[in-house]
Amino acid sequence: MQISRMFEMLYILLSRERVTAAELAGQLEVSVRTVYRDAQALCEAGVPLYAERGRDGGLSILPTYKLNKAVLSDEDRRCVLSSLTALAQTGASDAATLRKLTSFFGSPAPDWVQIDMADWSGRQDLLLATLKTAILERQLLGFDYYGESGRTSARRVCPTKLWFKGHAWYLRAYCLDRHAIRTFKLTRIKRAQILPGAFPPEALTAQADDTPSSDWEEPPMCPVVLRVDGCMAFRLWDDFNEDEITRLDGGGFLVRAAFPPGEWILSLVLSYGAHAQVVAPDELRTAVKETLQRMLPRYKD
C-alpha cells in the first residue's frame, strides 16, 4: 500500500512544478505527516526531492530528474505516447496509464489521432465494452450470430482478440460449438453477454497456436472489369486501389480488380446504379441482368 501511494505521489510531483504537503495529503487521503514520511523515503531511494518553505512553498523534484532518469530517446518517448494515445481512444489502454507516463516522460501526449470504434448510433458501445472485458479477463462469451445465409445461430466462444481486416472489425475466438478458431464480424454479433465458466484446455491450446492467417485462407480471386461513369469518381477511390483504376478519354473510368467470390460483388456493382457496366466476366454480367429483371416487376404500378 505504501509503495503504491509513493508511486502516486511521484506521478503528481512529476506532472506539477510544486505541490504543497496539504494538497498531497488530500489527494492521497493520508495525513500531512505521512506525506513527509513518504517524501523522505523517496529521497532515500534517490529521487531528488526538496521542500521550499513559505506561502508559495511546497514539495518539488529537480527539473533535471525527468532527463536523468530517462532510458528512452525523445523519439522513443514520442512513439510510446502516440501509441498509447490511440489505444486509449479505443479503450484498449487506460487513460490513467497515459497520464502517468506523460508525467514520467515530462512531455505532453501528442494529440495526433482520433479513433472511435462505435457506430453513429452508439449501439456498439456496449458490445465493445463486453468484448474488451471478455478478452482481457479471459471470460466465456455468448451471442447470436448472423451467418451469410441470414440465419442466426447461438455461439459460445473463448474470445482471443479484436482484429481489423480490410474495412471491418472482427472477433477472433475459439468456438466451443465448432471446436475450432473462428472469425466473427462484429456487425453480425447480437446480444453478446459474458457467460460463467473457464476456458477449456482445448481452447487454450488452439489459441496458443493461433495466428491471424491460420484459418483465414484467401479464396480464389475473381477478376472483374468495370466501366464506370466519371460522376462516380468519388466512390472509386473508396472501393478500389489507385493502380486498379484507369481514366478513359471520355471522362469515365475502367476498373480492373479481383475479388473473393460471393453475392457481395453483385451488390457492389448494383450500388453504382446506372453509372457502372460490367465488362467481364460474362457470369457477372448475366447475374446483373437477371437481378435487374427480377427487380423490375417490383416497381411496376
Q: What is the pLDDT of residues 249-273, one digit of tens each?
A: 888 999 999 887 777 788 899 999 9
11 contacts: CB under 8 Å, gap ≥ 6: 99, 100, 103, 104
Of residues 149 and 193, the one with the higher pLDDT is: 193
pLDDT at 49 over 90: no
64-74: b (≥16 Cβ within 10 Å) or e:
ebeeeeeeeee
Split at pLDDT 50, 70, 90, the class of 67 is very low
pTM over 0.75: no
